[in-house]
Amino acid sequence: MKFIPTALEGVLIVEPEPRRDERGFLARTCCEREFSAHGLNTRWVQQNHTSTRQKGSVRGMHWQAEPLPEIKLVRCLAGRVLDVVVDVRPGSPSFGKWHAEELSAENMRALYIPAGFAHGFQCQEEVCDLFYLMSEFYQPDMARGLRADDAKVGIAWPLPVLNLSPRDSALPGLAELA
């Protein structure tokens, strides 16, 4: 696996190195030794699978607060998404900055998202399935969010933002988090 840094410290692209033959391929997508060697989380207590319909649909931006923040490893199993993270750590030099990465079934990339980053994505095809590894169990009272269309953050979604859930539409902006 390749671990590719992004402009946001701790956010990494994890790129498998598939072994291919006439039958298809085999690729390691998570390896405790390799993750540990890079100083990354190796304990995954929950796995989530989400399926999103309609090109342009957005889910996010979500994270889990202290004292049980989530680290996520997100991979696209079907379709293609623009996966986005925003630094929401108070006092961080990159607070409010965002990074976007195309994840697809074809490129097989995953995004490693450390604690303190909001996460969301926009479906770039009619159906997109994402698979998440989570470092903590979901705690509804710790669930937090940031508006995906907050002008102060300025995420450059490639398509018009569609189908925000009522919960996601009511999330605060960055100014309310600071």
70 φ, ψ to 5°? -95, 140
Question: Which residues share a beta bridge with 129?
Answer: 51, 78
Q: Is 132 a catalytic residue?
A: yes
Q: Is 138 assigned a catalytic role? A: no
Catalytic residue among 38, 119, 132, 138: 132
Complete edge-to-edge strand list for the sheet that includes strand 2-5:
2-5, 12-15, 110-113, 72-78, 127-134, 46-53
CA dihedral 171, 51, 117, 83 (to 10 degrees): -110
What is the residue type of 170?
A: A
Backbone angles phi, psi at 52, to 5 degrees: -120, 135
Phi and psi (nearest 5°) for 156? Answer: -90, 75
Catalytic-labelled residue, pool 49, 62, 112, 119:
62
d(CA 71, CA 69): 7
Task: State the catalytic residues.
Answer: 62, 132
